[in-house]
């Protein structure tokens, strides 16, 4: 029997905006049903929080700093995957599969992503996409040369913002009757929505969330239509179905950030046959770099690595053996991620490590202000939040977390302090100040059990110095292993220096993150060994 694969990728869909992930305010019955018929991963993470880059991790099993797609694919000044990277369409073409992509593609170049069937479109008419999918299913079923199976990716445009409108999500076309009559338009009232904790509860925020919900409901209907088509063509029992999102919701404090709101995402998987599991809530930490190894394992090629001369090896793992697990499995306890650009002008390299309890961020160029994606900066919600300060006493802050530090019995403690009344209190983005969102320190450490919103930075607290050190070293080891050029010591790329033997000529690089302009010398300073790490 063929071993088909259907990969469904939503655009800017958050985890907290689906019924199966606990959102009672929105209707997503088809995705809820998919979750009930398979596995819902509760701790699933993208490597990056940018559309193109995240898709490349899905299609290559490599982080963006490994595959070259550091940021968005654009007509001008965009990023592309390197020519010597093995991608999902390449490998499944070689395996004899019928490959195709419908809807949003958003990766490049075509030669590196050679889908046999490519119907690229920015349409939000999910019924049209479903009709195209059904034709693809039928052709794969009836074509004897496709006996190995098919690999179809559907890239939905929903629920991404409409770039031509400050608060739009593609619903104006629904108002105009431009979509197929099979799509039932569900309009939400701003009072109905659930405002996530990473945003402020303001009228403009609710207005945009209501439009966002509407686009998500349309997406849900589209997924239902595609899965119904798969049933009609008789291929559902032979098809691995994966549904996920590229990054978090299209709001500040989420998309383009490596905070959980940007990278902890929905991931549903249905694997028929011996791998089948139903209504499983899986608590293990999984990553988008695990998706391609899982699809290859389903196709009977577990452990397949890129050929000689290609970038690799892939570090992701096959998820099928743990798909039916509703308990924590040893070894699935950490994920890593890498973000360098969104738009070409949004340079802000940062890396993260996430465990069940702890989150560590290494902000490489932390002296730069955190940049805004164009659509997020122009949004009505951000406009409202940036103007949200009001007459009140202002907190005094000394870092990124809205707290100050004092000594209590010899231990540094964080406490909220209040200054004399000022004309305005700081503008807030969720639970953090806008200033701390834009100006971040070199390292951030969060205890997610106590602080799931990643607001109280513990990196400078002596009580957590050992945890900070352990996670910093783990991230650096991962950076070495994945040849990350943004592993910096003393403000320079260690990986570049490892290509040469300057140590023999006396070069010493201090073992510190950034160059110290106040104490630039190397005498008496601990240094790193470039060729023993």
Separation CA 98–CA 101 (nearest Å) = 11
Please pick, among 23, 51, 365, 400, the residue that the annotation labels catalytic: 51
280 has which bridge partners? 39
Look at residue 240 and give its three-state secondary structure.
strand
Q: Are 364 and 476 contacting, i.e. CB atoms less than 8 angstroms apart?
A: no
Distance, C-alpha 411 to centroid of its chain: 36
Those residues whose C-beta lies under 8 Å from the C-beta of residue 245, and which sit 6 or more positions away, are: 9, 10, 11, 12, 13, 14, 15, 46, 265, 266
Mark whether 365 is an active-site residue. no
Q: Is the distance from CB of 414 to CB of 467 less than 8 angstroms?
A: no
List the one residue out of 15, 514, 93, 515 whose CA is nearest residue 259: 15
- Residue 283 in tokens: 């608590």
**3-class SS at 102?**
strand
Structural contact between residues 348 and 486, judged by C-beta atoms closer than 8 angstroms: no
Distances (CA, A) of 472 to 209, 352, 464, 469, 527: 36, 9, 12, 5, 16
**DSSP per residue, 12-32:** S--GGGSGGGT-TTS--HHHH
Q: What is the DSSP letter of 256?
A: B
Rounded Cα–Cα distance for residues 361 and 258 (Å): 8
Instruction: Return the beta strands (E) in 358-440 as ranges.
Output: 358-363, 392-395, 404-408, 411-415, 418-422, 428-429, 432-433
> With contact defined as beta carbons under 8 Å apart, do 17 and 213 qualify?
yes
Q: How far is 75 from 399, CA to CA, in rounded Å?
A: 39
Cβ 493 vs Cβ 487: under 8 Å: yes
For residue 46, give the DSSP letter: -
Q: H or E stretch including 265?
A: strand 264-265
**Distance from C-alpha of 71 to C-alpha of 254, rounded to nearest angstrom:** 16
**Contacting residues for 331 by C-beta, under 8 A, at least 6 apart:** none
The residues with which 282 forms a beta bridge, in sequence order, are 41
Catalytic center residues: 51
């Amino acid at each position: 029997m063929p071993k088909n694969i259907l990969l469904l990728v939503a655009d800017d869909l958050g985890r907290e905006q689906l019924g199966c992930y606990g959102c009672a305010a929105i209707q997503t019955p088809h995705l809820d049903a998919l979750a009930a018929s398979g596995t819902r991963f509760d701790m699933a993470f993208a490597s990056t929080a940018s559309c193109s880059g995240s898709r490349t991790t899905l299609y290559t099993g490599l982080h963006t700093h490994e595959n070259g797609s550091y940021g968005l694919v654009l007509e001008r000044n965009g990023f592309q995957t390197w020519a010597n990277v093995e991608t999902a369409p390449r490998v499944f073409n070689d395996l004899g599969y019928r490959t195709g992509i419908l809807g949003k593609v958003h990766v490049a170049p075509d030669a590196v992503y050679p889908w046999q069937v490519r119907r690229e479109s920015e349409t939000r008419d999910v019924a049209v996409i479903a009709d195209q999918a059904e034709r693809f299913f039928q052709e794969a079923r009836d074509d004897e040369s496709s006996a190995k199976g098919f690999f179809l990716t559907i890239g939905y445009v929903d629920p991404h913002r409409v770039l031509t409108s400050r608060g739009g999500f593609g619903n104006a076309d629904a108002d105009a009757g431009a979509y197929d009559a099979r799509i039932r338009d569900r309009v939400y009232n701003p009072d109905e929505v659930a405002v996530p904790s990473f945003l402020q509860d303001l009228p403009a925020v609710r207005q945009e969330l209501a439009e966002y919900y509407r686009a998500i409901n349309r997406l849900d209907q589209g997924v239902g239509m595609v899965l119904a088509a798969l049933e009609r063509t008789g291929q559902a029992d032979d098809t691995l179905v994966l549904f996920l999102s590229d990054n978090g919701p299209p709001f500040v404090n989420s998309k383009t950030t490596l905070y959980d709101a940007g990278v902890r995402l929905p991931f549903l998987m249905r694997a028929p046959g011996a791998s089948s599991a139903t209504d499983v809530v899986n608590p293990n930490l999984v990553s988008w770099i695990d998706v391609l190894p899982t699809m290859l394992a389903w196709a009977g090629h577990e452990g397949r690595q890129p050929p000689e001369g290609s970038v690799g090896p892939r570090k992701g793992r096959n998820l099928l053996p743990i798909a039916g697990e509703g308990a924590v499995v040893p070894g699935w306890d950490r994920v890593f991620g890498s973000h360098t650009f969104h738009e070409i002008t949004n340079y802000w390299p940062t890396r993260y490590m996430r465990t069940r309890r702890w989150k560590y961020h290494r902000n490489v160029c932390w002296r730069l202000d955190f940049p805004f994606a164009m659509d997020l900066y122009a949004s009505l919600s951000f406009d409202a939040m940036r103007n949200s300060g009001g007459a009140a006493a202002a907190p005094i802050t000394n870092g990124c977390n809205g707290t100050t530090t004092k000594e209590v019995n010899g231990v540094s403690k964080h406490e909220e302090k209040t200054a004399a009344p000022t004309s305005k209190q700081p503008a807030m983005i969720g639970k953090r100040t806008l200033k701390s969102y834009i100006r971040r320190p070199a390292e951030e450490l969060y205890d997610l059990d106590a602080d799931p919103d990643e607001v109280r930075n513990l990196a400078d607290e002596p009580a957590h110095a050992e945890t900070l050190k352990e996670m910093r070293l783990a991230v650096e080891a991962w950076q070495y292993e994945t040849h990350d050029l943004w592993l910096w010591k003393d403000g320079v790329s260690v990986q570049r220096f490892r290509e040469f033997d300057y140590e023999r000529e006396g070069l010493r690089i201090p073992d510190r993150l950034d160059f110290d302009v106040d104490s630039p010398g190397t005498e008496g300073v601990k240094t790193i060994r470039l060729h023993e790490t």
